[in-house]
Amino acid sequence: MSEQTAPLRLTQKLLAAPRGAKQAMMLALDMMALLAACFVVPWLFGVPLSALPFIKDQQIFVAIYVPLGLCLLWFLQFYRMVVRTLDHSAVSKMVQAGIGLSVLAALIFLDRTSVAKAAALGVVVGGVSIGLAGLGRVLVRNLIARIGGAPVGDPLLIYGAGRAGHQLASALANDPRFRPVAFLDDDPALQNLRVGSLNVHPGKALEDLSKRHNTKRIAIAIPSLGRRRRREIMDELARQEFEVLSIPAFADLVAGTHAVSDLRKVQIGELLERDVVDLSQSRMHRWFVGRTVMVTGAGGSIGSEVARQALQLGIERLILFEMSEVALYTIHQELKGQTHEVELIPILGSVTDAARVAAIFTAHKVDAVYHAAAFKHVPLVEANALAGIENNILGTETVAQAAGAHGVQRFVLVSTDKAVRPTNVMGATKRLAELVIGAAQQDHPGTVFSMVRFGNVLGSSGSVIPLFERQIMQGGPVTVTHPEIIRYFMTIPEASQLVITAGLQANGGEVFVLDMGAPVKIIDLARRMIQLSGASVRDAQNPDGDIEIRITGLRPGEKLYEELLIDTDAVATPDPKIFCARERGMPTAEVAETLGALRSAIETSQAQQALAILERAVPDYTRSGDAQDLDGTQAPHIFPHTIPGGRA
């Protein structure tokens, strides 16, 4: 056994020893500390060490003080502290123990001197005792760290020297991933101070600290930081190519669902995110109390979030209607863990299955429907036009007509900005679905039908964000279809919240459009995501960069920019993020004729015929040469209608 491995193995054995054995070792150390204090204090007052063991009063003091002192420490749960993770609670416990030992020593001294002298001697003996006991623990901890070969994490800067920053630094003291090296803070009152074992520096010292500690990794530890200031900080850190980590949100810390040390990479959505309010506190949303809500496409990005938020509104019953078994199981299991008061009804089925849809409304008195079921991936729908037409148009007509026939009070169609002057099959199907809803309003005036139209949502299955994240993790390249392409982005929670709110503002037939904020250039988005990951962009100006951005050309049916309005100005609503428009519709007879023709084309698998019908119904639709599907009369195209638990 080498000299290096022997101490390491000994330390590992000590760390693996039973808790009782470790407590016995600390008890022995404390006994030596108390004994030492009994001899150090008289020696400090001039009594020779050689004479102390033979002084009767000293013998009596040691015989009383040491065993009672150890009992006091045990009573104060001194031996429940884990030496490797000493923190501020340990300091508090040691102060309590120091006071207790001082009182004990003073009481013993009262038998032979005045109260004042006894109190003074007690404070000195208690202070020395707890000081030696604490020193022993610190030495043991350092010895374990050194001999035990505790892994040294990567250097980490912490932005925020407040309570959260201090907690983060303490939590990472024994973390093998990171080693906090310095604080940065905007507060002048904290700058140039020392918090814990780290110095606090102003934000302008970031570049110097990065070079000094050879790190490009920083953690944002200000859970209450405003969004505007957070974006400013993120932008500056991204510009300097820092890998930015963040502690959980303040609400998660308070709820106890996450610890301050649960660092995660900052997502691009945090730079674009806007405030989301608690709908349950709104007077308008009290309409939902005791109601039954049905969400179609409940396993999708928007549908699942609408379901989550509806759960908080005091509803009595939530019907989750979804075609994907996996998606339905996932959202149902998630929501089951969040409530025992709302009845959850998961139903597996397709919105094109008229019998099954009607059965749902017959079995349950549904008050509100949020129709989020749709095929929405532009290139996939472009290549599978018949499937997209059947699901997005005929499925919408099936659910809307059944809802109106069964007296549903409110029906909200989740639409898309791609429905405005569409250049792809998906957008055209959503525009015709909007016209279907307008016709349903005329057929069923007792139901309030409305549509909510918005752009891209961050984190959805069709969003560019997850694609960029995967490409960055693989080392690139990050693919952008066109250098000038722009999009509007909104977070899933905010979009779902506004969908719910807009539906309550409707009187019938309105198209609501959401304030999507400022447009984002996709190539700039890709660049910021690369920089936030701690990598650099490889381009002509920086040929030695880490990740390349590659231009691939527009995809089938893709537009450089999207619009939200067709032919009219939107008017404001009570919610500043929601605008209302009334757009031209289509007579119900013409809608019925169009749907009948589409149904016939789908049943005979006539893709080109169906696309021609779609073009006539949506005059603004600019058809691309990529729109196609299986085409022919030999094998009729039939969308799967056989649903487990349902019928063909």
Report the Cα–Cα distance between both ends of the chain, in Å, rounded: 74
> What mean pLDDT is predicted for residues 425-432?
94
Question: In this predicted structure, what is the pLDDT of residue 266?
Answer: 62
CA distances from 229 to 233, 234, 235, 582 (A): 6, 9, 10, 38
Q: In this structure, is the dihedral angle defined by the CA atoms of residues 15, 16, 21 and 23, taken in order, positive or negative? A: positive
Question: In this predicted structure, what is the pLDDT of residue 264?
Answer: 61
Q: pLDDT band for position 282 (50/70/90)?
A: low
Distance separating alpha carbons of residues 420 and 40, to the nearest angstrom: 87
Q: Residue 262 above 60 pLDDT?
A: no
Q: In this structure, is the dihedral angle defined by the CA atoms of residues 275, 276, 278 and 280, taken in order, positive or negative? A: positive
Q: Model confidence over 561-600: pLDDT tens digits? A: 665 555 556 677 777 778 887 777 888 999 999 999 999 9
Q: Tokens 């037939």, residue?
A: 509
% residues pLDDT > 70 (the chain):
79
Distance separating alpha carbons of residues 129 and 125, to the nearest angstrom: 6
Neighbour order of strands in the sheet with 264-265: 194-195, 198-201, 178-184, 154-159, 217-220, 243-246, 264-265
Two tokens at 276?
């989301």
Within 10 Å of residue 388's Cβ, how many Cβ atoms?
Answer: 28
Give me the count of residues in the chain: 648
Question: In this predicted structure, what is the pLDDT of residue 640?
Answer: 43
Of the candidates 452, 401, 424, which has an alpha carbon nearest to the alpha carbon of residue 581? Answer: 452
Known catalytic residues are 418
**Apex 355 CA angle, 353 and 361, nearest 5:** 105
Question: In this predicted structure, what is the pLDDT of residue 21?
Answer: 72
Q: Residue 82 above 50 pLDDT?
A: yes
Distance separating alpha carbons of residues 372 and 491, to the nearest angstrom: 16
Q: Model confidence over 288-339: pLDDT tens digits? A: 999 999 999 999 989 999 999 999 899 999 999 999 999 999 999 999 988 8
> What mean pLDDT is predicted for residues 115-126?
82
Q: pLDDT band for position 193 (50/70/90)?
A: confident
Q: Model confidence over 490-502: pLDDT tens digits? A: 778 888 888 898 8
Distance separating alpha carbons of residues 401 and 357, to the nearest angstrom: 10
Q: Model confidence over 381-412: pLDDT tens digits? A: 998 999 999 999 999 999 999 999 999 999 99
Of the candidates 33, 32, 31, 53, which has an alpha carbon nearest to the alpha carbon of residue 42? Answer: 53
Name which of 31-35, 142-146, 448-452 the model is least confident about: 142-146
Name which of 149-163, 282-296, 413-427, 438-452 the model is least confident about: 149-163
Question: In this predicted structure, what is the pLDDT of residue 643?
Answer: 38
Pairing type for strands 537-538 and 243-246 reads unpaired
Q: Tokens 């961050």, residue?
A: 458
Give me the amino acid identity at 395.
Answer: G
Of the candidates 569, 566, 567, which has an alpha carbon nearest to the alpha carbon of residue 579? Answer: 569
Sequential DSSP letters for 485-505:
-EE-EEEHHHHHHHHHHHHHH
Two tokens at 387?
């499937």
Three-state DSSP state, 341 = coil
Distance separating alpha carbons of residues 233 and 238, to the nearest angstrom: 9
Q: pLDDT band for position 462 (50/70/90)?
A: low
For the chain, how many helices (H) and strands (E)?
22, 23
* Contact between residue 347 and residue 317 where contact means Cβ atoms under 8 Å apart: no
Q: Which one has a higher pLDDT value, 47 or 250?
A: 47
Give me the amino acid identity at 319.
Answer: I
Give the mean pLDDT of the chain. 80
Question: In this predicted structure, what is the pLDDT of residue 633?
Answer: 40
Distance separating alpha carbons of residues 216 and 200, to the nearest angstrom: 18
Sequential DSSP letters for 48-114:
-TTTGGG-HHHHHHHHHHHHHHHHHHHHTTGGGS-GGG--HHHHHHHHHHHHHHHHHHHHHHTTTS-
Q: Tokens 């779609």, residue?
A: 614
